[in-house]
Amino acid sequence: MTLPPARKFDTLVIGAGGGGLRAALQLAQADASVAVVSKVFPIRSHTVAAQGGINAALANVLPDNWHWHMYDTIKGSDYLGDQDAIEYMCRAASNIVIELEHAGVPFSRLPDGRIYQRRFGGQSQNFGGEQAARACAAADRTGHAILHTLYQQNIRARTHFFDEYFAVDLIRDEQGYILGVLALEIETGEPLLIEAKTTLIATGGAGQLFRTNTNARINTGDGMAMALRAGIPLQDMEFFQFHPTGIAGKGMLISEGVRGEGGFLVNKDGERFMERYAPHAKDLASRDVVSRAIYTEVAEGRGCGAQGDHVFLKLDHLGEETVAARLPAIRELARTFLHIDPAHTPIPVYPTAHYTMGGIPTDRHGRVVVPAGQGEEAIPGLYAVGECACVSVHGANRLGGNSLLDIVVFGRAAGNDIIEYLRENRFHRPLNVASVEQALGRLARWERQGEGETVDGLRRELQQIMEQHCGVFRSQAVLEQGLDKVVQVQQRLANAVLRDHSRVFNTARIEALELENLVELALATVTSALGRTESRGAHSRVDHPQRDDERWLRHTLFFREGRTLDYKPVRMKPMTVESFAPKERTY
Amino acid sequence: MHSEPETRNSKLRQLRWRCRRGMLELDILLEGFLQHGYEALDGGQRADFERLLALPDQELLEYLLGTRTSTEGSLAHVIACIRNTSVF
Ligand SMILES: Cc1cc2nc3c(=O)[nH]c(=O)nc-3n(C[C@H](O)[C@H](O)[C@H](O)COP(=O)(O)OP(=O)(O)OC[C@H]3O[C@@H](n4cnc5c(N)ncnc54)[C@H](O)[C@@H]3O)c2cc1C
């Protein structure tokens, strides 16, 4: 086998969303040679979709401090978040938002010029008291503004971009060092080897696992699957956030902002049912709570519409003027995709897959960690940040506004740690040809000709299985059936063929590689969900409805080899303050 | 040298990839249009479509949802085509 052409850099970042770009910036500004690989143009990364805001206890609108933010995040995580990482993130938040402001992110402002802050679900003052206002927003384009700003700064700092290159697999040597990645140039279909002393995975989430989801089509969890194939476990994959208000049957997000502005949910009897499930926070309770409430209303026959398969989000009572002034984008979304005007007609909504809480296990410096002896150790030179990583600040359930924060805080932290690593590891290690050949084998497999199933059909089937067998509510029997079905899809995928073998922009080949990744993650998700016999955060087992802190205050680790599970303790000890002990979670 | 149909196919595949965006809403609208509406465009309109694809996601979303209007006649025409081809 001839080896593909190679390029060498100090450091490689796979993924150009907010997480990858924040890390790359730190590195480029420290004069490292940085390569960023992205399967789409960087500014089309999924971070652009984040409209709501980024959390920081600036206390510009209502009293606030980082310690309250820390409490909310731990409570929101259903006590599965690591308290040291959460303290680190909440403490860093104000500074990082100010830094973004100075870099040029046009945050919305109060009349006195300070940054305006929105109220989001799960935010409280004084450790569970009154509603707080903690989300900083740049109108309804926060993610876009952050991504564009970071991209421009990276261009200025001379980061080298490989746009429209698809990362296939990590390259590693016998000692376990990661040497870089095998990538595919989408335009030419030619492989390229990118060698680096450190590699950071920042490839985002895997919403495409589920039939209805809020995510862009590119969110296929490629980096997580690459980690699995490199022998690294994935952590807490059973925790997938379902956003309560997706457009029914289609998945597009109707943001919490609608409920923040006074919209509320009703069942077919017109009842404001959230009053029953969360008497205090009602429609603004945490996402997992609202999702389960909607699911239950529908399951118990109180759903709306001819099929009774959704509930209504009402905002007609706000009046046409308010809807037009405060929620113009939502109004047009409903008009475009549903042909209704929400100023007059309620929006049919149902929970939709939204955010991957689990991912590649890391410490708070972004270093990828794996079990070793009684504890764990870092894989030399390998890092992960953002939605593909599990650091773990979101635990069993993420709060709105905490993901944009996560990606920039830990992107910066990983950048700083890589700079240290590069000081002590000044040379490239020799290439491991066997590992390159293995990665090339993944590509060669799709050259096979002949008859076979199509990738498109199998993807749809997989998404359907995940929705039916690993959705908002789960049980052993349903999960077991789901696992069997995913295994069958995996076997059938091994026999699938491409109809089109051309090289130039062969998107069918990319989609085949993405589907292989999704199947790996489906196995991880269902197996982890079967293992956890309790209900916590986004993971609800009807056969184990209670949270069980005795047995389950621990993280799941899924290994690809033999599909085995292992567990590790939650880090309950914060960096400097007292630990927050688990309490019942009520809203 | 590539044959003419191959060149046309690779162009379509390229456009298909460029319709992959950071937002689900755009994926759906653009892919739907590429499948059901693009063929009917003439050469100039196809060039306009490509100009649209070069825009940042947020701006494109605002055009396609109609919360913003393009002052450029020919772009506005293609935007209207996409909005009317909405597959739902
Ligand atoms: C509709 C929506 C609204 C949201 N709103 C908010 C909000 O208001 N506040 C908040 O905090 N969070 C929000 N989130 C969550 C947040 O947007 C994401 O979790 C976050 O942006 C993820 O950033 P990232 O850097 O980890 O990855 P992404 O931005 O997803 O970037 C991933 C990058 O990896 C690249 N990539 C992936 N696979 C490969 C591969 N195989 N080869 C090469 N490159 C690859 C992609 O091209 C891309 O550049 C929202 C999410 C959604 C879906």
Q: For the segment A63-108, what is each residue's pLDDT rounded down to a tens digit? A: 999 999 999 999 999 999 999 999 999 999 999 999 999 999 999 9
Fill in the amino acid letter for A29.
Q
Distance CA A105, CA A149 (A): 6
What is the three-class DSSP state of A141? coil
Fill in the amino acid letter for A274.
M
Which stretches of A413-474 are assigned E, i.e. beta strand?
A: 473-474
Give how far A197 is from chain B: nearest CA, Å.
29
d(CA B74, ligand 1 centre) in Å: 33
- Does residue B86 have a pLDDT over 70? no
Q: A287, A367, A412, A536: which one is catalytic? A: A287
Give how far A241 is from chain B: nearest CA, Å.
17
pLDDT digit of tens for each residue in chain A (587 aa)?
689 999 999 999 999 999 999 999 999 999 999 999 999 999 999 999 998 899 999 999 999 999 999 999 999 999 999 999 999 999 999 999 999 999 999 999 999 999 999 888 889 999 999 999 999 999 888 999 999 999 999 999 999 999 999 999 999 999 999 999 999 999 999 999 999 999 999 999 999 999 999 999 999 999 999 999 999 999 999 999 999 999 999 999 998 888 878 899 999 999 999 999 999 889 988 888 999 999 999 999 999 999 999 999 999 999 999 898 888 888 999 999 999 999 999 999 999 999 999 999 999 999 999 999 989 999 999 999 999 999 999 999 999 999 999 999 999 999 999 999 999 999 999 999 999 999 999 999 999 988 889 999 999 999 999 999 999 999 999 999 999 999 999 999 999 999 889 999 999 999 999 999 999 999 999 999 999 999 999 999 999 999 999 999 999 999 999 999 999 999 999 999 999 999 988 77
Tokens 């091994």 found at: A494
Q: Which of A201, A146, A143 is nearest to A385 (CA)?
A: A201
Written as six digits, the tokens of A11 are 């450091």
**Beta strand pairing call for A165-172 and A178-185:** antiparallel
What is the three-class DSSP state of A253? strand
CB contact under 8 A, B14 and A187: yes
Distance CA A570, CA B86 (A): 47
Distance CA A121, CA A133 (A): 10
- What DSSP designation does A109 have? B
CB contact under 8 A, B22 and A186: no
**Beta strand pairing call for A6-14 and A191-201:** parallel
Is A426 labeled as catalytic in the residue annotation? no
pLDDT at res. A380? 94
Measured distance between the N- and C-terminal CA atoms of chain B, rounded to whole angstroms? 41
- What DSSP designation does A285 have? S
pLDDT at res. B87? 60
Nearest residue on chain A to B22, alpha-carbon basis = A46
Confidence of residue B2 (pLDDT cuts 50, 70, 90): low
Nearest residue on chain B to A145, alpha-carbon basis = B58
Of A252, A328, A505, the CB nearest to B24: A252
Identify the helix (H) or strand (E) that includes residue A136.
strand A135-136
Identify the helix (H) or strand (E) that includes residue A6.
strand A6-14
User: In chain B, which among 27-66 make CB contacts under 8 A with chain A?
Assistant: 27-29, 56-58, 62, 64-66
CB pairs under 8 A between A and B: 96
Q: State whether residue B14 sits within 8 Å of chain A by CB.
A: yes
- Check the CA dihedral A276-A540-A239-A64 and report its sign: positive
Of the residues A43, A44, A45, which should be mutated to test ligand 1's pocket, given the most ligand atoms within 8 Å of the CB?
A: A45
Share above pLDDT 70 across residues of chain A, in percent, rounded to a whole number: 100
Interface confidence: ipTM more than 0.90: yes
What is the three-class DSSP state of A406? helix
Tokens 């490239």 found at: A428
- What DSSP designation does A539 have? B
pLDDT at res. A5? 97
Q: Which of A299, A242, A284, A209 is nearest to A537 (CA)?
A: A242
Q: How many CB atoms lie within 10 A of CB A583?
A: 11
Measured distance between the N- and C-terminal CA atoms of chain A, rounded to whole angstroms? 60
Q: Which of A160, A150, A140, A148 is nearest to A43 (CA)?
A: A148
**Which residues are CB-neighbours of A430 under 8 A, at least 6 positions away?**
A173
Residues having CB closer than 6 A to ligand 1 are: A 14-20, 37-40, 42, 45-47, 49-54, 143, 166-167, 202-205, 214-215, 218, 222-223, 253, 354-355, 386-387, 400-404, 407
Instruction: Tell me which of 2.30.30.230, 1.10.150.250, 3.90.1150.10, 2.40.10.10 is the CATH number of domain B4-85.
Output: 1.10.150.250
**Cα A265 to chain center, whole Å?**
26
**Which residues are CB-neighbours of B14 under 8 A, at least 6 positions away?**
A187, A504, A505
Written as six digits, the tokens of A537 are 């955060």
B21-76, pLDDT tens digit by residue?
Answer: 999 999 999 999 999 999 999 999 999 999 999 999 999 999 999 989 988 888 99
Phi, psi of A527 (to 5 degrees): -65, -45
